[in-house]
Homo-oligomer: A and B are copies of this chain.
Amino acid sequence: MDIGGANTKAARLHEGTMTTLTRPFEVWRDRGALATVLRELATETGPADSVAITMTAELSDAFRTKREGVAFVLDAAEDALGSPRVLTTAGELVSLEAARARPLDVAAANWMATALMVASAHPDALLIDIGSTTTDIVPIAGGRVAARGRTDLDRLLAGELVYTGVLRTNLAAIAPRVPVGGAWSPVASEQFAISADVHLVLGRLEAYDCPTPDGRPATVELARERIARLVCADTEQLSADAIDAIAAFLYGEQLRQIEEAAGRHALPPTAHVVAVGAGGAMGREVAGRLGRAVAEVPWNGPAAALAALLAC
C-alpha cells in the first residue's frame, strides 16, 4: 500500500497477476478514518501472505511534523493491517517497530519502490514518474538506485523531486506570467485552475481524477473558463484560441521544468528513460527532448512496485 495525502493505493500480486485499487482519501479532511480506509482497501484487494506499506501522507498539514505524521500512519497501518513491513528511503523493508524508531527514514519513501523495480529491469536508466502533483526523477546506475537525495527537501535540491504534476498543480505556481494577446500578463495568485484543466483543453489528459477547483464539471468549455480566470478574465474577454495559447504555454513550462531537472542527471547516453505515472505520455515527451529512448517496466505505481518487491 502507498499511503498518500490525497489518494491511497493498494496492489496485490497473486500468481503473477497484479490487482491495483486507488481510493481518493484526503488525510487532512478526516485523519481518524485512515485505518478504516486501509482496512477496506485490504479487504477489497484480497488476502496476502505479507503486506508492505510506504507513505507520503506525513507531509500533509494535518500533521505538525513528519515525525508526528509517520507515527500516525504507522499506528493506522498496524490497526488495519497487523504488522506490515515498511519501506525506507534506503530501499529496505523494515518492521513496524524499526520504522517507529526511525520515522524520518520511512517518510516520503514511495519513489524508492518504483526506483527499485526499475533498477531490477534496467541497470542504467532514468526513472521519470510524473504523477498528479509531483514528479520523481531518479537515476539508476549499474543496477543501483543512484539518487542523491533521501528527504523531500534534499530531493527538491537535487532535481529528483519536481513539484509539478498533470492534475492538481495550481496554475499560478507554474509560471508568474503567461502570454495574452502578444503581451505577458502576470497571473492571479488564487486557486482558479489546475494543471488538469490545461492538460484537458490540450487533449492530453487521460482522466480528470481530482475535484475541479470551482466544483463544476471537468469539460473543456468549463476548463477554459477556469484558465481564463488565471488572468482575471472570462470567456467573454478571451477567445478559446487565446485561452488554449495560455494552456499550451503552461504545458510547455511544466515540460521545461521537468526536462531541466532530468537533464541534471549524468547518465550514459545509452541509458533509457522509464516514464511512468499519470503523466507517462509527458515523461516520454521529456525523453524525446533529452534524446533518450524509452523503456518499459512491468508494473505502474509504487504500490504495485512494492508488491513485486515483497514477492521477490
The residues of A with any CB-CB pair to B shorter than 8 Å are 28, 59, 61-62, 64-67, 104, 108, 133, 151-153, 156-157, 161-164, 169-170, 172-174, 176, 180, 183-192, 213-214, 216, 222, 225-226, 229, 231-238
Contacts and interface: CB of A to CB of B under 8 A. Distances in A.
B151 A163 contact: no
A189 B214 contact: no
A61 B152 contact: no
Contacts of A214: 28, 61-62
A187 B162 CA distance: 9
Given A170-B173, A191-B191, A235 B65 contact: yes
Contact of A59 (B28, B66, B187, B229): B229
A232 B150 CA distance: 12
B59 A232 contact: yes
B61 A156 contact: no
Given A152-B232, A231-B156, A186 B163 contact: yes
Given A153-B237, A162-B186, 14 more contacts: A64-B225, A65-B225, A65-B234, A66-B237, A104-B236, A152-B232, A153-B231, A157-B183, A157-B185, A163-B187, A170-B170, A170-B191, A172-B172, A173-B176
Nearest to A232: B152
Nearest to A108: B232
